[in-house]
Structure 1
């Protein structure tokens, strides 16, 4: 049900209220800097007034080209407070793609991390932006922090209405050109109740993935609950382990490939991680064998959250469900959230019974309003109030949801379909394999062939022939990869997902040269 605009309070207002209850408490930590709740709150109000002074206001787009700075959070809050929609670029996209996004979302103001000034110049060379504002002194634009310092820190009410667009979140571009996913202020406020976090005043959240992804939502929840956010610029397993021990981190979010790197790091065994009470993972498929390893390493603190930017939260596999003696349970994404409906449907739209594979369709009040300026694509995935997720999966008799593959990742071969995650699970079960990524590559006859990139255990001698024989013996010839390449590490997107688009391109180039 839509909120009455007269009584509605945005997530920013609620968080600013929470920050105001104890302004002297520590709230943000970044590279030795420690910012209090009161300092963050005042910076948001000052920055919002500075944006207004530039003529920026409700219904316009502010794009962030920023790393994991405290000022990045303040800038997002300030822009949303005055009713702007916010688009946060992934920093590791090319300048060409970033410029296309900046232009596509009709950016009025580009807010830039001074460390990314050179990239900002590349972007603005490709597309014009009326205002370039920098979080510090720079030659490429006005110093937003200096402008904000001249403004009042007095509180004021949000300029946004509930149905205004709050965020435009872009997909990572792993399956094509990034799509802008629009979420309203009303929906953004409702997301807080979906996050699988323990809320208490001892909550210390470590952010080591980009604020443009799920970490940004976790920051909002932590600040609202009175917790502390510790910011790292990027994921480095040694730095993450050291920070957990030094800052007594209680809450951590990682995509599965990063979780594997963390537990495989040589410092993991001698680092005190006893402060951890919640390690949330999600964002891409996980390996049951590797998740069991993580439970053994970190204890019963793991929790899987399955969701999409288009759909919000969908399901949760609780800490209690992380039973290493039940690998089939670790394969699932848990039970559907109470206020979410899930249906498994075939290509004709028919609902399928428990156990049968089909597309996961979702209905809830957190479904996106649509893709930015793409009405046909919006109509394709949003039908009769149901979001067609593009994920293939099934529900079992106990109500647990299992994701089998992405529709676009599923490999069509002679004789049927190869579900990439099933093959990855099998490869990862080999004692000499740490990680794998499976993807399809078209040959000269335009037929898809199964390829796999594999990260071996250090010192391992397992070879392509042995792994292919294992797959053929366990799953049959249809699943046997035509090619297995061994890599030191899987390439990851800015969000931390295996970059299968890049792997596919590299395999195609290698085939063309052979």
Structure 2
């Protein structure tokens, strides 16, 4: 007799199994609400039934316009259980940009956080959708939670197939029009629950960055591992520090600029952070000088993760590698993960030896399926099973990977290339500099000028000529910024990365005004 293949199970099934294993344990915390594993599992199942009852079918896109609500997380799981791809909009994009994404992904149902009701009205006026559903009584669309309450919390068979799209995750748009990165259920993989550590040893993760970004994936892994996720609506340093102490947070994820703000906050020195076991940072380049500050403040708990939405995780710099006496190691993104292949290639596609700079190319079982409705761009980035990341870097003889720039951020000047991270590391090494961002601005003759935005240390005085002299002596005239502006803090994208697109635009406008005045 032919052997029948077992039904496909996705990462959502793993999460639901973990929730069912200990239904009474605390699993989500948000604004004073404490939600048990059993309650979260029941909500996911009721929502899955409710979406099916509304006529939302396998393969139809569900789009979320929501902050860090527990109900938003449950809705994503429910939609995936129904075999639907999910897009989670970045909240700080304009209504026009959000509407373009809603239209582009062919949204069947827009699920709205009540606090974004006004924005939802703007978006749907520009991009009408068949179903507008609210996560509560918000005055926009039908109350999905009310519909779900009338449904049974009975187990439901997942409709997803391995090749179906699980998520369409859009880039933040810092380097041009946002691209929809498609990940299939098969490539999203299964979440293997970790061995139980006892109730007191379970991980407690604080998420204060958008669930639409990496925080959502982190929540998936924590819930599958039997942990607790504490959700905050936004990153506010004082609130994050208070939550670490109050909730005895063991795990934290931050982008580097947010980590710097955390350790620089006046409350940092009087907050008990001894519960922290692991603080993962990543998403953009980190400053070795500032990471050293974080190690001294928080102890040996830092771990850097490097990856992309297109590729999944690529490499990790472990806590043992975070040695303040080895800044060259802190500049790296760590060793390549098992199951991931990395090649450094030149513009002709040739592999380069250790130490040579080239494009980082990756091959693994977790690469994206492609860009949504952009086959030409997909073919350009995915070639012969390798993802061309667009990052410039090198591998050393010990197998450590160092990222020196994005191809689009690399500044092309007369005489060569300026790698922005190298310039930023040097500026950040000045005792009176807290943080910096380097970028190129194209001149009227088509050449690029090196520019930098610098955040001075509190109460410190430093001038542009002093910094230029430092760069000229240490890196040479090619790296010397033509323009340095001083700012109170760097502008950040919705994901928490330095917004170089905005900095570049501001600098170009200032340069144009100066030329007209001359």
TM-score relative to the length of structure 2 = 0.96
Q: Which residue of 1 aligns with 2:502?
A: 502
Rounded Cα–Cα distance in structure 1 between residues aligned with 2:483 and 2:343: 36
Q: Any idea what the Cα deviations from partners look like across 1:201-239, whole Å, max 9, x if unmatched?
A: 520000000001111011011111111100000101110
1:341 equivalent to 2:337? Answer no
> How far apart are the structure 2 equivalents of 1:385 and 1:100?
30
Q: Aligned partners of 2:54, 2:486: CA distance in 1, in Å? A: 53
Question: Matches of 2:257 and 2:102 in 1, distance apart?
Answer: 29
- Give the whole-Å Cα distance in 1 for the aligned partners of 2:238 and 2:469: 36
Moved over 3 A (4+): 4-7, 197-201
2:150 paired residue number:
150
Instruction: Report the alpha carbon displacement of residue 14 of structure 1 after superposing the two structures with TM.
Output: 1.1
- Give 1:138 shift: 2.5
Residue 362 of structure 2 corresponds to which residue in structure 1? 362
Count of residues paired in the alignment: 508
State how 1:42-53 maps to structure 2 within 5 Å: 42-53=42-53
Q: Give the direction of change, closer, same or farther, for the CA distance of 1:416–1:329 in structure 2 (3 Å limit).
A: same
Partner of 1:302: 302
RMSD: 1.3
Distance 1:501 1:138 in 2: 34
Residue number in structure 1 paired with 2:470? 470
Other-structure match for 1:71: 71
Structure 2 matches for 1:149-168, cutoff 5 A? 149-168=149-168
Confirm or deny that 1:80 pairs with 2:53: no
- Structure 2: which 5+ residue stretches go unaligned? none
In structure 1, the partner of 2:251 is 251
- How big is the shift at 1:7? 3.5
Please list the CA deviations of residues 224-282 of structure 1 after superposition, one character each: whole Å capped at 9, or x if unmatched.
11111000001011100000000000000000000000011111011000000000000
Alignment-derived partner of residue 268 in structure 2: 268
Secondary structure at the residue paired with 1:169?
strand
1:461 is the counterpart of 2:461: yes
Q: Matches of 1:227 and 1:219 in 2, distance apart? A: 9
SS in 1 for 2:109: strand
1:50–1:148 Cα contact (<8 Å) kept: yes
Residue 399 (structure 1) shift: 0.4
What are the superposed Cα offsets for residues 268-298 of structure 1, whole Å, 9 maximum, x if unpaired?
Answer: 0110000000000000000111111111110
For the residue of structure 2 that corresponds to 1:252, the secondary structure is: strand
Separation in 2 of the partners of 1:273 and 1:162? 41
> In the TM superposition, what is the alpha-carbon distance from 1:140 to its structure 2 partner?
2.0
Give 1:512 shift: 2.3
* Inter-partner Cα distance in structure 1 for 2:181 and 2:133: 24
Aligned to 1:8: 8
Which residue in the other structure is 2:492 paired with? 492
| SS of match in other structure, 1:284 | coil
Q: Which residue of 1 aligns with 2:120?
A: 120
- 1:215 is matched with 215
Mean Cα deviation higher: 198-207 or 255-264: 198-207
Q: Which residue of structure 1 aligns with residue 402 of structure 2?
A: 402
C-alpha distance after superposition, 1:470-490 (max 9, x if no partner): 111111111000100000110
Q: Which runs of 5+ in 1 are unaligned?
A: none
Partner of 1:230: 230
CA distance in 2, matches of 1:99, 1:207: 27
Q: Which residue of 2 aligns with 1:182?
A: 182
Report what 2:317 is aligned to: 317
Per-residue CA deviation, residues 275-323 of structure 1 (Å, 9 max, x unaligned), is 0000000000001111111111100000000000000010000111011
* Alignment match, 1:422: 422
